[in-house]
Amino acid sequence: MLSNPIGIDVTKPRLSWQLNSEKRDTRQVSYQIIVASTADRLAKNDGDLWNSGKINADQSILVPYAGKSLGSRQECFWKVKVWTNHSEEDWSEPAHFTVGLLKPEDWKAKWIGLDKAFSWDSVTKFSRLSARYFRKEFSGSQVKRATVYISGLGLYELYVNGKKVIEDISNTITFSTDVDTASTAMCAATSPTATCRRCRPCASKR
């Protein structure tokens, strides 16, 4: 199970939680889930995406989402309240998840790469070609939030203004990451730059 996942590839995710209590023999008997489109709505208990209402059940693992249809890039905030055999509990801490790019047509970027060796590469059957870089400058108003979607059948690294924002380079499947607060601060420069470095030749999208 994932905690606050980014870029999930399903429209009906399954939600789980764990009941903690200092009382002995505490069991869940009911629950209520709220899913909202913004953190503010969630704080106001406004489940504009889904409000399950009180459900009399002890299930707390892999409860299927049953709210409004979710689309690509959608951000969702959720929390749960449980009733036990002792009392009604407080709402849980908020959690969130985002939906990735679900359809092929959602990918607007083009495949990038260089299908030939550089002049300094040694081309033999044992060749290890130089890493390929894709560099993109962007301008406009100050960046509040950004999401990068990468699909690369190989190894890659992502930098924002020269600072690495992905620690694990062994990403062999479609990946998306939110540029967090620290990385967003990097984008406050006059000409922010995002660079994707492929550690070995592969196809990728940006």
Q: Is 158 helix (H, G, I), strand (E, B) or coil?
A: strand
Q: Which CATH class is domain 107-120+127-198?
A: mainly beta
Task: Please say if the pLDDT value at position 125 is more than 70.
Answer: yes
Question: Which residues are CB-contacts of 191 (< 8 A; sequence separation ≥ 6)?
Answer: 137, 138, 139
β-pairing, 156-160 vs 193-198, is antiparallel
The pLDDT tens digits for 78-114 are 999 999 999 999 999 999 999 988 888 888 877 777 7
- Return d(Cα 15, Cα 94) in angstroms, integer: 13
Average pLDDT (169-183) is: 43
Examine domains 14-98 and 107-120+127-198 and report if their fold is the same: no
Q: Which CATH class is domain 14-98?
A: mainly beta
How confident is the model at residue 64, as a pLDDT?
Answer: 96
Count of C-beta atoms within a 10 Å radius of residue 204 = 22
Closest C-alpha among 117, 203, 122 to residue 156: 203
- Return d(Cα 144, Cα 156) in angstroms, integer: 25
> Taking the CA atoms of the chain, what radius of gyration do you get in angstroms?
22
Q: Is 129 helix (H, G, I), strand (E, B) or coil?
A: coil
Task: Please say if the pLDDT value at position 180 is more than 50.
Answer: no
Q: Which amino acid is at 94?
A: P
How confident is the model at residue 16, as a pLDDT?
Answer: 95
| Domain range summary for the chain, segments of one domain joined by + | 14-98, 107-120+127-198
Q: Is 88 helix (H, G, I), strand (E, B) or coil?
A: strand
Question: Which residues are registered as beta bridge partners of 203?
Answer: none
